[in-house]
Structure 1
Amino acid sequence: MKIGLFFGSFNPIHVGHLIIANHMAEYSDLDEVWFVVTPHNPFKKKKSLLDDHHRFQLVLRATEDYPKLKPSNIEFGLPQPNYTINTLVHLKEKHPDYDFNLIMGQDNLYSFKKWKNYETILEHYEIYVYPRVSEKKEAPELLSHAKVHFVQAPIVEISSTFIRKAIKEHKEVKPLLPHTAWIYLDEMNFYK
């Protein structure tokens, strides 16, 4: 089975995440997309993150109606801060018959060479890239790399940062969130 790994803090997960993941599952050769909920991104400040368990719950609820989309808390048990290469190695050990691949926004190709062991990732894993509106320019050699595949997914410019700020300002954000995730956020009074 060919699995696409969609890493993120999902703080919170929003409809843009679902649109991209579903598009990858339906319009590429990936069989499933796993939302890998990241406990702590080495490039982000931890204080703005909801508790790991709550972000996983949001993803779990948001994906329950989509058989090809799965939540994953695989990184919760790994030493922190964690790096993608460690997760990939761990997943391969745990699921040797699965073919794991990365999913990332086109803007992330710009900083991909800063990732720990990025050469090893490129050597052993394929990368599925969705378009993003960005001023950043990708590294030219990555654009034509044999392991990098561009998927013409819809461009969705919704950000979790915008949603958190809007909730704090008492704005209506329900249309930006999967319904079940919105209910959980509202019940738990998150980001207010």
Structure 2
Amino acid sequence: MQIGLFFGSFNPIHIGHLIIANYIVEYSNLDQVWFVVTPHSPFKKKSTLLDNYQRLEMVYRATKDHPKLKPSDIEFNLPQPNYTINTLTYLQEKHPEHTFSLIMGQDNLKSFHKWKNYELILKNHHIYVYPRITQDNTTPPLIEHNNILPIDAPIIELSSSFIRQAIKAGKNVKPMLPENVWNYLDETSFYK
């Protein structure tokens, strides 16, 4: 099976994440997209970041009605700080029957050359790149590489930090979140 890995803190997961993941799984050769919830680094004090399992619960609730979208806690038990290359190596050993690709925004591709062992990732994995609106209109240097696959997904300018700030300010964010996630946040009063 062809699996796309969509990494993020998903703090919280929102409809933009689902729109991009669903578009990529429907308009590429991927069979599934796994939302890899990145763990809270024990070395960083970030009070706005919810607990790992609370964020995983939101991803589970957001994806449970979408058979091609799956939550993943694969990084929770890997040594910290973790690097993407370690996650890919671990997944390939654990699931040799699958082929893993990365999914990232074009803005992240611009700094991809700074990632640990990025050449090895690029050699062994496809990277699906979705467009982002950025102030910097330069083309990322690696965009021409054979394993970089630009995807003409809808441009979604919605961020988890915007949603957290809006909740704190008492704004209605219900249309920006999957209904199950909105219900969870409403029940728990997270981010208020």
User: Which residue matches 1:65?
Assistant: 65
- TM-score scaled by structure 1? 0.95
RMSD: 1.4
Distance 2:16 2:50 in 1: 19
Contact persistence 2:5–2:36 (CA under 8 A):
yes
Q: Deviations for 1:30-76, whole angstroms, at most 9, x for unmatched residues?
A: 0100000000369x864321000000000000001100000000000
SS at match of 1:47: coil
Distance 2:12 2:92 in 1: 27
User: Which residue matches 1:22?
Assistant: 22
User: Which residue matches 1:179?
Assistant: 179
Structure 2: state its 5+ residue gaps. Answer: none
User: Which residue matches 2:36?
Assistant: 36
**1:139 Cα deviation (Å)?**
3.2
Contact persistence 2:40–2:51 (CA under 8 A):
no
Structure 2 letter corresponding to 1:139: P
Contact persistence 1:9–1:41 (CA under 8 A):
no
Contact persistence 2:106–2:140 (CA under 8 A):
no
Higher helix share: 1
User: Which residue matches 1:115?
Assistant: 115
User: Which residue matches 1:47?
Assistant: 47
User: Which residue matches 1:139?
Assistant: 140
Distance 1:45 1:26 in 2: 38
SS at match of 1:186: helix
Structure 2 letter corresponding to 1:15: I
Q: Deviations for 1:51-103, whole angstroms, at most 9, x for unmatched residues?
A: 00000000000001100000000000101111111100010010001000000
Q: Deviations for 1:95-125, whole angstroms, at most 9, x for unmatched residues?
A: 0010000000011011111111111100111
- TM-score scaled by structure 2? 0.95
Structure 2 letter corresponding to 1:57: E
Contact persistence 1:109–1:138 (CA under 8 A):
no
Q: 1:41 to 1:143 in 2, by over 3 A?
A: farther
Greater CA drift, 158-167 or 46-55: 46-55
Task: State the identity as a percent.
Answer: 66
SS at match of 1:100: strand
SS at match of 2:110: helix
Structure 1 letter corresponding to 2:140: A
Structure 1: state its 5+ residue gaps. Answer: none
User: Which residue matches 1:149?
Assistant: 149
Distance 1:174 1:184 in 2: 11
SS at match of 1:185: helix
Does residue 105 (structure 1) correspond to residue 126 (structure 2)? The answer is no
Distance 1:47 1:145 in 2: 39
Contact persistence 1:40–1:81 (CA under 8 A):
no
Distance 2:49 2:124 in 1: 31
